[in-house]
Structure 1
Amino acid sequence: MGRIALIGGGFSTDEDGVLDDWVLGQARAPRPTVCFVPTASGDAPGYVEKFFDAFRAKDCEPSVLPLFQRESDDTALREFLLAQDVVYVGGGNTANLLAVWRVHGVDRLMREAYADGTLLCGISAGANCWAEGSHTDSFGPLTHLPDGLGLLPGSVCPHYDSEPGRRSSYRA
């Protein structure tokens, strides 16, 4: 059975790399394959480079799964994702991430990877996606999004302590 780690920051905000080192230490292989999935940011090139800059220096094999300019067929996509020890999902727009994943069948592949023992992790939208629901500003004002992947029961609220209004809105 897989595991899910909801992390706060990682390479996108933490310069010391402690959270990313922790994630790598939780992987099932001594030199893990780590795939960054930047769907929530629209596969933003700067975000991808920041991931590679952080993970090239670590004892792992980093890769990226772009979905906005996808070049592989469904079989290759499945083989690629299931070969990963860690899937690291970036932040951005949760609703868009889930919609794009569903169009490409990535939602089903993530469930399969989870069942196969892959460590799934992410920040912000990349944390939201694993739960049944989440608290998001994907539609403008903060609101409940009830259609996450459901690998975790309940809901997630990223930025609960770091952004004004999140705590009170989530609790309401």
Structure 2
Amino acid sequence: MDAPSAVSADAPRAVGNAEPTAFRGTIVALGGGGFSTSETGASAIDDELVRMAARRIRAGTEDEAGAQSGFGASVGLPHVCFVPTASGDSRDYIERFEAAFEASARTYVLSLFGQSPWDYQDPAMLLDMDLIYVGGGSTANLLSLWRRHGVDELMKTAAAGGTILAGISAGANCWFDASSTDSFGPLAPLNDGLGFLRGSACPHFHGEPGREESFLGWITDGSLPAPGIAIDDHAAVVYVDGVATSVMVESVEAAAYIVDADGSLCNFDEHRRVVPVSEHGPDE
């Protein structure tokens, strides 16, 4: 892979024909990559997520009410919570997260399986975080368990309070109305998302066999709702209040695409919303 870099962009603009939802807050949907596939744990996208969380802290200290709201408003390292539900709280996955973020953030884990040594946590802890990072795995299992434990509503409340929501693969799928998933073995459409974001998502768009062809076909035949958002590994789409505003990438080959109802692809570059930045932040 090329040297890590990230990209971002400017003014909010609705993607395709989607109307923004009533959701308020910031969501970053990663197609793949990040710390979970990096040999060293280093990731330009993850670095940018931490910077975003740190900016939330600075904003909180300037507001008296925000400064009294909990962990996330305290001065210091941002509080980052990993939610590994989709992987069944994989120990290896959690340990990779902690190793990747320990130098830049105070790390927490929401374990719904009671995985030792993290044990079961009250999901209300999410309300005290600056950044919530959802891991990959089974989208269907994630959605089922979140609803059972009330995590879905807590995520919405946390985001409205300024907490950044981010997720990779299944952790990206979950925010949308629908998605392409391998939760049931073969790739299949799943029309059971949280609906924070309109339309359908497909992670690993060019990274796994069959992803591109099946996703375009399901959008075209109506099995999945348009617009579709197709995200390559090492790319992420940033949403603010339900509107896609920018893209971040860790590799020059990575991209994100809008898929219209007729199955046609439109690269985000065509909307001039992609501006390269280094691993240290946006290039001026």
Q: What is the number of residues matched between the two proteins? A: 167
Instruction: Give the Cα separation in 1 of the matches to 2:109 and 2:138.
Output: 18
Instruction: Give the Cα separation in 2 of the matches to 1:55 and 1:110.
Output: 21
State how 1:161-172 maps to structure 2 within 5 Å.
161-172=206-217
Once the two structures are aligned, what percentage of the paired residues are identical? 55
State how 1:115-126 maps to structure 2 within 5 Å.
115-126=160-171
Instruction: Give the Cα separation in 1 of the matches to 2:35 and 2:57.
Output: 20
TM-score by length of 1: 0.92
Q: Name the structure 1 match of 2:37.
A: 13
* Structure 1 segments unaligned to the other structure (5+ residues): none
Matched, 1:29 2:57: yes
Q: Name the structure 2 match of 1:96.
A: 141
For each residue in 1:94-114, what CA deviation from the matched residue of structure 2 results, as whole angstroms up to 9, or x when unmatched?
000000111101011111112
* Structure 2 segments unaligned to the other structure (5+ residues): 1-23, 59-76, 218-284
More strand by share: 2
More helix by share: 1
User: Residue 135 of structure 1: CA displacement?
Assistant: 0.4
Instruction: Give the Cα separation in 1 of the matches to 2:57 and 2:28.
Output: 16
With 88-97 and 105-114 compared, the bigger mean Cα shift is at: 105-114
Matched, 1:71 2:120: yes
Instruction: Give the Cα separation in 2 of the matches to 1:68 and 1:25.
Output: 30
Instruction: Determine which structure has more spread, i.e. the larger CA radius of gyration.
Output: 2
For each residue in 1:64-114, what CA deviation from the matched residue of structure 2 results, as whole angstroms up to 9, or x when unmatched?
100011534xxx431x11000100000000000000111101011111112
The higher relative CO (CA closer than 8 Å, separation ≥ 6) is in 2
Instruction: Give the Cα separation in 2 of the matches to 1:97 and 1:112.
Output: 18
For each residue in 1:9-45, what CA deviation from the matched residue of structure 2 results, as whole angstroms up to 9, or x when unmatched?
1110134321110111112125211000000000000
- Of 133, 136, 141, which aligns to 2:178? 133
Instruction: Give the Cα separation in 2 of the matches to 1:68 and 1:157.
Output: 27
